[in-house]
Amino acid sequence: MSAIKAVLALASAPIAIGIALWVGFDVEKNDAELPLIHRAEGFVGEQTCKRCHPDQYETWARTFHSTMTQRVDPATVVGRFDGAPVEFYAKVAKPYRDGDRFFMDLPEGETGRRVAEVALAVGSRRYQQYFERVERDSGSVLRRLPILWHIDAKRWMHLNDVFLHADNPEWNAHAAIWNQNCIFCHNTGPRPGYLNQERKNEIVPDAQRSFDSHVASLGIACESCHGPASEHVEAYESVAARYFDHFASSNDTHVVNPARLDHERSTEVCGQCHGQRIPNPVENHYRWRVTGPTYRSGNRLTEHVTPVRIDTKLPGGSGDEFALRFWADGTPRLTAYEYQGITTSPCYEKGTLSCLSCHVMHGGDVRGQLEPEMRGNRACLQCHEDIGKDVQAHTKHDPQSTGSQCMDCHMPRMVFGVVEIHRSHKIENPNPARDAEKGRPNACTLCHLDKSPLWAADKMRELWGDAYVRPKSRPDKAPLDLPDSVASILSGDPVQRVTYAKACGAEGSALVAEDAALVRVALHATLLDAYPSIRWTAQKSLLALESRLATGIEPALRDWRHDGPKGTRESIAKRFLQEFQKRSTNALRAPMPSKLLSPDLGPDLSAIIALLDLQSGRAIHIGE
């Protein structure tokens, strides 16, 4: 339609429609019910966007982005606040509800008690964390409470048991301050409002820190991705302008559509949160903790931040401050580093891959923001069309098997976060020698769980050529002829252990149920691991294996608590291992030869202990 026809159409439109559209732009600057919300610097809020974009609003509102951070009320709290006591580390908490308010009766010190009112909830997919407001002489802080509700498990868990840390009886070890941490990535337009700025050259204890924090929106809302929208709103306050835009092609420069950006800038929109970073220059952190990050969608991300890499160095640091967050070759091994993964992938470096090549923000399955076909090979074959013509010729596996799933080979599950193992976002070819020598999981042995790195290297050389050679050693010194899963579970570092413990229970692996004896023995030994999240992962994988081939352990194993009293859980776990032979003889086949099992499936405890002794002697804490 021509511009003239558009104006004529406007002139003949019912006056009521014009009035309704005009009234729709009553921009909400503040919300009195939510003192955290204050809109400035061009932010208008998602309710303003909804008035003209109701469909986009509805598709956003169903996502976990929208419920990332929420005020506390009966509709948003998912935890069971029923007054029932929950015990961790020999101390008891009682979450309870009084009307529409939520509280926790918590231990204080050795024998005291205190009551904390929940003021804010963070998370809505895997688990939900709770924060209390603590008033200070000036300002306040939102402090994380020590227990959270795990949504899938439908139970309370202690924070010490969900992060990748060794057992720690200190109840408040993870009492993080929302205002200086969570506010940055779990909200839109964050302004921490740090009030101790005059002490910027000293380390201020948490107990003395105070904030006057605000956000434009709780959670990840429209303007996180599209940028502050006030100019866009002002430009379309005119009914004529809006009708003209509807009928004519438009190139609105007031807001950003990530789908219309080039692949680098589009990926950077996601990378502002899905890519751990430090300010650029780093001295800007003084400004950040007062007024918040400076990046806005459509900017060049690296002009505002430096994405954290394995060798990123902080002022005065040693250069290895972030090393443990990556595999030894620099591949990320924690969630929130997806940006670092994709930007070091050939598909991005040499092609035009972006987050939006696979993910969709206004549709699909909210668990991953994916259309159904993008969970399978379509995600890769949309570009690699020639491979799609004969998948088996490329994969050397049955087309219907896991071995012919692109992502299982090129984006294996080897990233830890929120007590789960996720896909790597660094797209690469598996290489048994590289992976074994760098102490990182290998896509082949994450599926062929009863096979060694030597087997994987030989098989890849047989199928794909002489470029693939045998590894010479493992960093943990475990034998190379041992199944990679078993060696990693018993001797690896915490991320190796939890990754392979998870893989052992995965659906679709090449592990035959009757041949899982070695894997089961390793998982039983892992029930004694010093890391509670690893113990829990091992328990779940054992239950998965038991569901495929029962040995009679299921009832007792299901009742076992990975976070129960140490003496009780360890005595039961040892009994599981000691009784393995009796329970398994008629169900499982003995691997031959085996360094850990006798021909009649008797575990060699001394050999198992020798492998456990190869674990790092120090506790490794992974920032998450």
**pLDDT tens figures, 444-492:** 999 999 999 999 999 999 999 999 999 999 999 999 999 999 999 999 9
Closest residue by Cα to residue 512 from 462, 447, 584: 447
Please state the rounded mean pLDDT for residues 567-571: 97
- For residue 140, list its beta bridge partners: 135, 211
User: For residue 205, what pLDDT band results from cuts at 50, 70 and 90?
Assistant: confident
What is the mean pLDDT of the segment spanning 134-145? 91
Asked if residue 28 has pLDDT above 70, the reply is no
Answer yes or no: are the C-beta atoms of 97 and 84 closer than 8 Å: no
Instruction: Return the pLDDT at 248.
Output: 66
Q: How many CA atoms lie within 13 A of 8 on its CB side?
A: 5
| DSSP-derived pairing of the beta strands 147-150 and 101-108 | unpaired
The structural domains of the chain, with segments of one domain joined by +, span 70-208, 430-624
Q: Cα–Cα distance between 269 and 339 in angstroms, integer?
A: 10
For residue 240, the model assigns a pLDDT of 77
Q: Kindly state the percentage of the chain with pLDDT values over 90.
A: 82
**Residue 617 pLDDT more than 80?**
no
| Alpha carbon separation from 350 to 6, 263, 354, 359, 550 (Å, rounded) | 44, 11, 12, 20, 49
* Six-digit token string for 622: 């992974």
pLDDT of 595 higher than 90: no
In the three-class reduction of DSSP (H, G, I as helix; E, B as strand; rest coil), residue 5 is classed as helix
- The Cα 225–Cα 218 span in angstroms is 14
Tens of pLDDT, residues 544-553: 999 999 999 9
* Predicted pLDDT of residue 620: 76
CB 134 within 8 A of CB 172: no
Rg of the chain's alpha carbons, rounded to an integer?
27
pLDDT at 18: 30
Question: CB atoms < 10 A from the CB of 176, how many?
Answer: 16
Q: DSSP string spanning 230-267?
A: HHHHHHT-SHHHHHHHHHS-----SS--GGGS-HHHHH
Closest CA to 521 of 603, 439, 424, 459: 603
pLDDT at 14: 33
Q: What is the mean pLDDT of residues 539-545?
A: 98
Q: What was the pLDDT predicted at 241?
A: 74
Residues 624 and 612: their CA atoms lie apart, in Å, by 25
| pLDDT, average across residues 533-561 | 97
Q: Is 492 helix (H, G, I), strand (E, B) or coil?
A: coil
* Alpha-carbon gap, residue 21 to 48, rounded angstroms: 12
pLDDT at 440: 97
Q: Which residues contact 561 (CB under 8 A, 6 or more apart)?
A: 568, 569
| Helix 517-526 × helix 605-612 angle, to 10° | 60
- The H or E element that residue 69 is part of is strand 69-71
pLDDT over 90 at 27, yes or no: no
Count CB atoms within 10 A of the CB of residue 51: 16
DSSP letter at 356 equals: G
243's CB contacts (< 8 A; 6+ apart) are 6, 7, 9, 10, 13
State if pTM tops 0.85.
Answer: yes
pLDDT, tens digit, 9 for 90 and up, residues 232-283: 999 888 777 777 776 766 667 789 999 999 999 999 999 999 999 999 999 9
Kindly report, residue by residue over 401-451, the tens digit of the pLDDT.
Answer: 999 999 999 999 999 999 999 999 999 999 999 999 999 999 999 999 999
Query: Is residue 527 within 8 Å of residue 568, measured between CB atoms?
Result: no
CA–CA separation, 526 and 533 (whole Å): 11
Confidence of residue 146 (pLDDT cuts 50, 70, 90): very high
Q: What is the mean pLDDT of residues 326-337?
A: 96
Residues 327, 341: contact at Cβ < 8 Å?
Answer: no
Q: What is the mean pLDDT of residues 285-299?
A: 94
- Minimal CA–CA distance to 369: which of 384, 382, 383, 379? 379
| Contact by Cβ (8 Å): 531, 562 | no
Specify the DSSP element, H or E, that contains 577. Answer: helix 566-578
More confident residue, 25 or 370: 370
| pLDDT for residue 109 is more than 70 | yes
